[in-house]
Amino acid sequence: MADTEFAQVQAISPEGVHSPRNIKPRRLNKYALACALLASTNSILLGYDIGVMSGAVLFIKENLKISSTQVEIVVGVLNISSLIGSLASGKTSDYIGRRYTIVLAATTFLIGALLMGLAQSFSFLMAGRVIAGIGVGYSLMIAPVYSAEISPAMVRGFLTSLPEVFIVLGILVGYIVNYALSGLPQHFNWRLMLGLAAIPSILIGVGVIAMPESPRWLVMQSRTGDAKQVLIKISDTVQEADFRLGEITKAASISDQSGSSSANWHGQGVWKELLLRPSRPVRRMLIAAIGINFFMQASGNDAVIYYCPEVFKDAGIHSKKMLFGVNVIMGSAKTLFVLLSALFLDRLGRRPLLLLGSAGMAFSLAGLGMGSKFLEHSDTKPVWAIVLCVVAVCGVVSFFSVGLGPITWVYSSEIFPLRLRAQGSGLSISVNRLVSGVMSMTFLTISKKITFGGVFFVLAGIMIVATVFFYIVMPETKGKTLEEIGALFENKNASIDDGREMRET
């Protein structure tokens, strides 16, 4: 793909009468909101697994008599196997469409959840988690891509952040289920905790069938008439739908300069454009998308959530009921802040919230490290130090929910041009899954070597580096159409200019 394509895309949307900046929606389109909500419910599956596994693993360890290393493997294998789904999801969604890829994700997770709920051995449980992980990989890519492609520019941040809202909601539901079922016999409670994930999988698979296909995918398949019908439903006026269709059609025709006709196009040639001969703008997109996905998981957020009970057991809290109660408090804080971030994402912009969230995580992780270090060297386990750790953990997950949590999905799904979007997003999210798996499978081992406090200080340092990276690399995409965003990566100083603009306002 030539560098000039992105300048051409920029020319598609001149600042005229029909520019999206002048066609601001008077209200949030209810049909577009319903579509984004349905697609995003797929993400509740990952959230539920993260939340419920943090408690279930305590009973699994006792019931199946497994070691700490096996605990790390059973927790982390879902993230590692989700790498398969995320890598395959781009090609799959280009071939069968966004909507049926969501159905595929829910079906795959359903099979995995049933296997986990019926598991009688460690190997049986592992098989279920591998299959569920593949479904998670599919859902993490497709939900934000679909939401981005059906969203009007002025509310795209809100609608595309909904997958993270549902991940967090799933985590909270998982915590509540842990708390509610912890009193049942341990040979039964963890199986019920994991098997209950089958219920939302069925509801999601059925509900998604009622959704329309992405208009951008339809245009790439030369189904312009079908695309227009969808755009009329997700736009405020027929004129706005016509304008959006014109933008998408022109962007698709620019993408088709590589050769294959759009009617026969199913994602072929994209890997070559992304990895073998990327243009300068595409290279910058890859660095931005892979970078934000790397730091999302290198922050240790998932590992902290998975092993939070272990951290607080080390801090002196030994009652399982109390441990799960702390988890519910943490999940409630996480839910509140991700909702606030989603509501203000299109008003405040991506960059300010991302920088605030990553800097806040660095500060909170440093506080958690100090509290943990004090408790490690104290025999009395003072209440103030335990409270500091609880507050710091709530700070970590809250700042994550303000910045990296929702904004990673938004950036990953909106910065690539139409032809590269699905597979580029899938590639960047595969890095997310790989790093998440490595963090989950090594967190306890590293903690034994350098203590929990030492791990949290290392994570604080990583988040300082992440804040600098975001300031330098990530441009502001607020209010721009998907077809306009490519032009931002033509400008070497886009993120720096955004920073100056942010300070001036």
Q: What is the DSSP string of 397-424?
A: HHHHHHTHHHHHHHHHHHSS-HHHHHHH
Q: Is pLDDT above 70 for 10?
A: no
Q: Is pLDDT above 80 for 140?
A: yes
In which band, very low, low, confident or very high, does the pLDDT at 11 lie, cut at 50, 70 and 90? very low
pLDDT at residue 259, as a whole number: 46
Q: Are 94 and 422 in contact (CB under 8 A)?
A: yes
Q: Is pLDDT above 90 for 470?
A: yes
What percentage of the chain carries pLDDT values higher than 70?
85
| HEC assignment per residue over 247-290 | HHHHHHHHHHHHCCCHHHCCCCCHHHHHHHCCCHHHHHHHHHHH
Rounded Cα distance, 56 and 402, in Å = 27
Q: Which two tokens mark 312?
A: 């607080």
pLDDT at residue 98, as a whole number: 87
What rounded mean pLDDT belongs to the chain? 80
Q: From 3.30.450.20, 3.90.960.10, 1.20.1250.20, 3.40.640.10, which CATH number describes the 28-504 domain?
A: 1.20.1250.20
Q: Is pLDDT above 90 for 495?
A: no
Q: Is pLDDT above 60 for 505?
A: no
Q: Are 50 and 171 in contact (CB under 8 A)?
A: yes
Residue 27 gets which letter from DSSP?
A: S
Rounded Cα distance, 92 and 82, in Å = 15
Mean pLDDT of 345-351: 86
Mean pLDDT of 475-484: 79
Strands (E), 128-235: none
Rounded Cα distance, 413 and 216, in Å = 13
Task: Of 54-63, 264-273, 366-375, 461-470, give the range with the top mean pLDDT.
Answer: 461-470
Rounded Cα distance, 154 and 145, in Å = 16
Radius of gyration of the chain (CA): 22
Rounded Cα distance, 427 and 408, in Å = 13
In which band, very low, low, confident or very high, does the pLDDT at 12 lie, cut at 50, 70 and 90? very low
Pick from 428, 372, 359: which is nearest to 398 by CA?
A: 359
Model pTM score: 0.73
pLDDT at residue 400, as a whole number: 92
Q: What is the pLDDT of residues 386-413, one digit of tens each?
A: 788 888 888 888 899 899 988 998 888 8
Q: Which residue has the higher pLDDT, 143 or 5?
A: 143
- Whole-angstrom CA distances from 324 to 9, 255, 305 are 51, 51, 12
The domain ranges of the chain are 28-504
In which band, very low, low, confident or very high, does the pLDDT at 6 lie, cut at 50, 70 and 90? very low
Give the lowest-confidence range in 211-225, 231-245, 267-281, 477-491.
Answer: 267-281
pLDDT at residue 17, as a whole number: 40
Mean pLDDT of 342-365: 90
Q: How many CB atoms lie within 10 A of CB 96?
A: 14
